Amino acid sequence: MSPQALIDRLDSLEKAFADEIAPLSSEQDIRAAQARFLGKKGAVSEVMKQMGKLAPEDRKAVGQVANRVKASVEGEVARKLGELDEAARAADLSREVDVTLPGRARPRGHDHLLSQVRRDCVAIFTELGFDVAEGPQVETDWHNFEALGTGKDHPARDMQDTFYVGPDLVLRTHTSPVQIRTMLAEAPPIKIVAPGVVYRRDDDATHSPMFTQLEGLLVDREVRFSDLKGVLVHFVRRFFGQELDIRLRPSYFPFVEPGAEVDMQCAFCRRGDSGCRVCKGTGWVEIGGAGMVDPVVFEHVGYDPEAWTGFAFGMGPDRMAMLRHGVGDIKLLYDADLRFLRQF
Ligand code: PHE
């Protein structure tokens, strides 16, 4: 082809391109048209391949036209895409929105029953001036047992009850080691509650291998057993919102002396109805253990047993939850069944 024929061909391609994209209205179509003209096998490229056969001065003249046509094609593409963008934005702005339509309801969760009970329990004690303390769930043998007066031969250390993690490490079997950690870290007076998860090798309708406890410890000068009883009865009445009584039955825990088991009046039937499934007709329900801190514990943490006195208690918030809401099986608290949990 002669140089002029090539130039004419390029000029006609420029016009053809303008005609081709004029009616297009999608980015995809426009890009495809661009490729048909400027792509490796596109019409403009085909013309340029023939330039090699031209004399050098002709090649320059044709090359200039080719570059102009390329630039014009690219300019057209950019302009056309800009138009499309503008049109989309305008359509978006003119869309009518009915602001009076009701919103879309989003599902809302809430705290787990046990979290609610734990919060309520802790709040009753913080009202009384107790601080909240915490400790690890994997505990040393010394904190969990030894420092609490539970020697190596004590039945509570039986493999039946305790999950051992290592020769000297256990999953804590109660929250009482938090008493030890708190007293080691702070000087008396002490006034704390320690809510938390504990573990025992137990598994039936009223026992779960993992359950929660709420520990209490108060250390000061001349603390009396009646102080302990006063705090416990206040707690039970505040938690259940009823004038319930408590009963302290002599019992043994290695870290208190004297020690007691704490019963509360049945929140369900209140006096022991023969058919009551909660107290089984006795009128009383056990909610935990308590007692006066044994001097041997003070010795382990370096407190002077002659100068300091204290009381401690450990309660089961799981039990509290079951009692307050009439839940018959402790497993329901840990199964994560939403049909159950949604009710609270
Ligand atoms: N730690 C005891 C238990 O888990 C409960 C307890 C705590 C008893 C504090 C007395 C004082 O059985």
Q: Among 145, 170, 174, which residue has the most ligand 1 atoms within 8 Å of its CB, making it the best to mutate?
A: 174
For residue 10, give Cα distances in angstroms to 80, 181, 228, 242.
21, 89, 102, 97
Query: Which range has highest mean pLDDT (127-131, 267-271, 279-283, 319-323)?
Result: 127-131
Q: 215: CA distance to ligand 1 center in Å?
A: 8
**Percent of residues, the chain, with pLDDT higher than 70:** 99
Let me know the angle formed at the C-alpha of 48 by 56 and 16, rounded to the nearest 5 degrees. Answer: 130
* The pLDDT of residue 174: 95
Closest ligand 1 atom, residue 260 Cα? 10
Rounded average pLDDT over 301-317: 97
More confident: 251 or 153:
251
Residue with tokens 């969760």: 109
pLDDT for 280:
83
Which phi and psi (to 5°) does residue 14 adopt? -60, -45
Q: How many CB atoms lie within 10 A of CB 243?
A: 10
d(CA 319, CA 279): 12
Distance CA 43, CA 27 (A): 20
Ligand 1 centroid from CA 314, angstroms: 5
Task: Return the pLDDT at 253.
Answer: 93
User: What pLDDT shows up at residue 159?
Assistant: 60
CA-nearest residue for atom 4, ligand 1, is: 174
How many CA atoms lie less than 13 Å away from 53 in the CB half-sphere? 8
In CATH terms, is domain 113-341 a member of 3.30.310.80?
no
Q: pTM (2 decimals)?
A: 0.70
Residues 6+ apart with CB under 8 A from 323: 240, 267, 268, 278, 285, 287
Residue 156 has pLDDT above 70, yes or no: no
More confident residue, 61 or 216: 216
Q: Residue 138, SS3? A: strand
The protein residue whose alpha carbon is closest to atom 7 in ligand 1 is 314
Q: Could you give the 3-state DSSP secondary structure of residue 200?
A: coil
| Residue whose CA lies nearest to ligand 1 atom number 9 | 313
Instruction: Give burial (CB, 10 Å; 0-12/13-18/19+) of 62.
Output: buried
The pLDDT score that the predictor gives to residue 251 is 95
Å from CA of 70 to ligand 1 middle: 87
Q: What are the pLDDT digits (tens) for 175-222? A: 999 999 999 999 999 999 999 999 999 887 777 899 999 999 999 999
End-to-end CA distance of the chain: 88
259 C-alpha to center of ligand 1: Å?
9
Q: How far is the CA of 306 from the centre of ligand 1 (A)?
A: 23
Q: Record the tokens describing residue 263, joined without a space.
A: 């019963």
Average pLDDT value for residue range 327-344? 88
* Residue 124 pLDDT exceeds 80: yes
Kindly state the average pLDDT of the residues 286-312.
97
Residue with tokens 């390329």: 70
**Residue range 145-155: mean pLDDT, rounded:** 89
Measured in Å, residue 128 CA sits from the centre of ligand 1 at 21
The pLDDT, as a whole number, for residue 120 is 96
In angstroms, rounded to a whole number, what is the distance separating the alpha carbons of residues 326 and 321? 8
Q: State yes or no: pLDDT of 68 exceeds 80.
A: yes
Which ligand 1 atom lies nearest to the CA of residue 289? 8
* Residue 140 confidence (pLDDT) above 70: yes
CB atoms within 10 A of CB 52: 7
Can you list the positions of beta strands (E) in 133-255? 138-140, 164-166, 169-171, 190-199, 210-220, 246-251
Pocket of ligand 1 (CB under 6 A): 174, 176, 253, 256, 259, 289-291, 312-314
Of 50-64, 102-116, 304-318, the least confident? 50-64
Q: Does the pLDDT of residue 278 top 80, yes or no?
A: no
So what's the pLDDT on residue 81? 94
What is the distance of C-alpha 337 from the center of its chain? 17
